[in-house]
Structure 1
Amino acid sequence: MMSRFLLLHCLFLIFLFIAAATANTGTITTDRDALLALKAHITHDPTNFFAKNWNTSTPVCNWTGVTCDVHSHKVAVLNVSGLNLTGTIPSQLGNLSSLQSLDLSFNQLSGSIPSAIFTTYTLKYVSFCRNQLSGAFPSFIFNKSSLQHLDFSFNTLSGEIPANICSNLPFLEYISLSQNMFHGGIPSTLSNCTYLQKLSLSLNDFWGAIPKEIGNLTKLKELYLGRNGLLEIDNISNLKVLYLYNNRLQ
């Protein structure tokens, strides 16, 4: 009887091991496919970065620009910045379910920002600065309670900043939307981003008064609002840096 019990116990452990291995293989395959989708969306790679460094014969976690979680072996960091890449951003990057940091800055990527990217609930850091991205501010980003750093600066994004930008972003510390084509008023609801330390909105077409509610952001240290059409400023304190050049302040 005891030997039968031990046999069943061993078989059960083997089953669990196989199930875990199968699940892990599926996850790795999903991550690999998401990265290969990015590679496929690149139309010009002047340094042959992907051809040299992203080879399906080697594990994804060994690819240059990719860092995996040491426990789950899932992609946690993706950094392909500064490569002068031309192409678009694929929605499949949203399948990187453990992604914490995404840096595609200093390239020549165009098109819109896929909302699917922001379905990853672990995402903390996003930088798409200095590309040629267009379209409106991605609405799905408001479900990203984990997000801390957001940089869309130096693109051609347009429209207004949605009033509910901070409703579901309680831990956001850094926002840079400078050098785009945003317009309208600066939302007073930015005061709901209570952890905000740096806010950069320079080189757009914002107008009206700088909301006095921004003065309630006790952690805010840097505020960049230069080259807009702003008319008034009030109740701004605790700042170490305040940049207001080329406005219409009265």
Structure 2
Amino acid sequence: MTDSIAPSERDLSPDLDALRSQLDSDSEKTQLQAIAALATAGEEGSDLLMEFLLSRKSHPPTPVEGEAYKSLYTANSPKTTAFLQDHFPKGVVPLDSDSAVDYFPVQQELVRENFQTADRLTLEKLCELAGPRSRQRNWLYFSEVERFPTTDLQTLDTLWRIHSLGQFGYSVQRQIWLGTGKNWDKFWPKIGWRSGRTWTRYPDGFTWNLEAPAGHLPLSNQLRGRRVIEALFNHPAWK
């Protein structure tokens, strides 16, 4: 499979050669620009993206790998589909869990940018972590969050970060919260969950795309007040 996707073994157009150099840049912005261009460059562009993903397979994923994966997934050609199935059958984020929870459905919806569905599935997975009673009521107590395995929270957070250009995720929200001095009245408007004294209404008031403010998603059971999200932010997963 690798032999068929090695553009280095044949001549590339100057434009594609330049894009390949940009993929190797130390600038994430430059890499993302290259990926966006390669996504519209046909089979040769896909070949370069496949080569790039293979070269990064042993590295911790970043939003750059997430975008490269999404571009190949969206291409949906027999060649890219076979490549992803052979080399990245579960995506670029390791779906680790200490509780045997399957996070693949969340990954799929995030790659498709179905953020509302991904948010709903994320809550379902958190309730699955919490146990049968939580699954039945479909919401969380803060005391249940405190017992969540670090591995599982980090997996969910990484999925959201990697497949949102670093814009969404619990760790992103936590950094914004810390940046406000843990001031909830400043935090809620900053991530778009409140405007003045008016809380954002679910679901239509929320922005289910990448035009949302940083930290806008996932919602983290937000309709149940601040204790659940405070427990998430104080969890050992981030320390």
Bigger RCO of structures 1 and 2 (CA < 8 A, at least 6 apart): 2
Structure showing greater radius of gyration is: 1
Same-fold status (TM-score > 0.5) = no
Q: TM-score, normalised by structure 2?
A: 0.28
Q: TM-score, normalised by structure 1?
A: 0.27
Larger relative helix fraction: 2
Larger relative strand fraction: 1
